[in-house]
Amino acid sequence: MPYTLPNLPYAFNALEPYIDEQTMKIHHGGHHAAYVKNLSTAVEKHPELASKPVEELLANIKSVPEEIRQAVINNGGGHLNHSMFWLMMTSPNSGGSGTLPSESEVAQAIKSTFGSFDTFRETFIKAASTRFGSGWAWLSLDNSGKLIVHSTANQDSPVLEGKKPILGLDVWEHAYYLKYQNRRPEYIDAWWHVVNWKQVNENFVKAQ
Ligand code: MN
């Protein structure tokens, strides 16, 4: 297959008790694996596409043949979003990555853009909790290089809109239903305990 499922950088139970082991196993080995397989199948008849990184396919989606365009949006987006998502999280016991160093580049940009970290957090929570149905909440750099909070539907990647994702939260039911059932707000609250701020800062610095 031209695209492959990346391993998790931690154990399936590493995000307990906030995100449970069974959810992680199904989410990674079931859902993410299916996006990878379906993306690979979609580009089978277009080998010139299969050699390109998925970001590149999505950033230039109009150059993807129409017959497979929606499949690439859905499954390429699913592959890219989840590949980033796993890295944006870390064990709450990993010693430090879960706290936002106030002197980090992204912390300073969050403060100057949103006024305070708490205001940013509230804005992000609102985007995550009001996304109707399946989708993602994001902190991204927009086309002008400004930090923004937004959400996308389904597996649409911010890259499709010319944005650079820095931090993302999966609010599909498959991400939380086993543990939280219909209580999306509880899942959103719990998730802040496992955000890998070191990685988020790296994403921000790289996106500049
Ligand atoms: Mn997901």
Give the pair of three-digit tokens for residue 54: 């998925």
The whole-model pTM stands at 0.96
- Buried b or exposed e, range 6-42, using 16+ CB within 10 angstroms: eebebebebbbebbbeebbebbbeebbbebbbbbbeb
Same domain, 201 and 109: yes
Same domain, 118 and 174: yes
177 burial level (CB within 10 Å; 0-12, 13-18, 19+): middle
**Structure confidence by residue, pLDDT tens digits, 87-133:** 999 999 876 567 788 889 999 999 999 999 999 999 999 999 999 99
**Structure confidence by residue, pLDDT tens digits, 127-176:** 999 999 999 999 999 999 999 999 999 999 999 999 999 999 999 999 99
Same domain, 65 and 140: no
**Per the domain annotation, does 6 fall within a domain?**
no
Same domain, 28 and 111: no
Same domain, 111 and 200: yes
**Per the domain annotation, does 7 fall within a domain?**
no
**Per the domain annotation, does 99 fall within a domain?**
no
CA 115 / ligand 1 centre spacing (Å): 30
CA 103 / ligand 1 centre spacing (Å): 31
What is the CATH number for 83? Answer: 1.10.287.990
Write out the H or E segment, with its range, that includes residue 203: helix 197-207
Distance CA 166, CA 148 (A): 10
Same domain, 41 and 117: no
Same domain, 132 and 185: yes
Distance CA 191, CA 194 (A): 6
CA 187 / ligand 1 centre spacing (Å): 13
Give the pair of three-digit tokens for residue 123: 């804005």
Same domain, 59 and 138: no
